[in-house]
Amino acid sequence: MRSKYLNPAKIFAAVLFAAAVVISYTVTSEKIQAQSASMAISVQDFEKIYKANPKVPLLDVRTAGEFRSEHVANAVNLDVNDIMNLGPKASAKIPFPKDKILYVICRSGNRSMTATKILRSMGYTKAVSINGGTMAWDRLGNSCGTKFMTCAR
């Protein structure tokens, strides 16, 4: 006698459904982690890239006053608040192509991550925040007056 509660076809369907849910969650979770990871770069990795090409697209999102006092040489300044307030119109003030990597820096990495998320929503799909910002850049010995002269005043 077969039990209506232990139908092998229904059990198999339930197991298959559960496996599909687990696989779907895992793939989605990995995509989210990969996407957020690719939104940032370590300051050490950026230093290597910068030393190989000091003209890399670099957007400093600190205030104009912070930028004037010290900044990584060849950086372009556009305050993160201006990016937020201007929305898509901010693109007119950013002299870098939307389809290329755009490095974004601030003092500690918080504003640059905010700006990176906004920039990506505006079409700068390869915008990348530099972890640790100019504070980490300075800790690597790249402050103004060093032999590298990688900051400008």
**What are the residue numbers of the active site?**
106
Amino acid at position 104, single letter: V
Radius of gyration, alpha carbons of the chain: 23
Closest CA to 88 of 126, 123, 122, 111: 122
Contacts of 33 by beta carbon, 8 Å cutoff, 6+ apart:
none
Q: How far is CA 125 from CA 44, 85, 151, in A?
A: 22, 20, 27
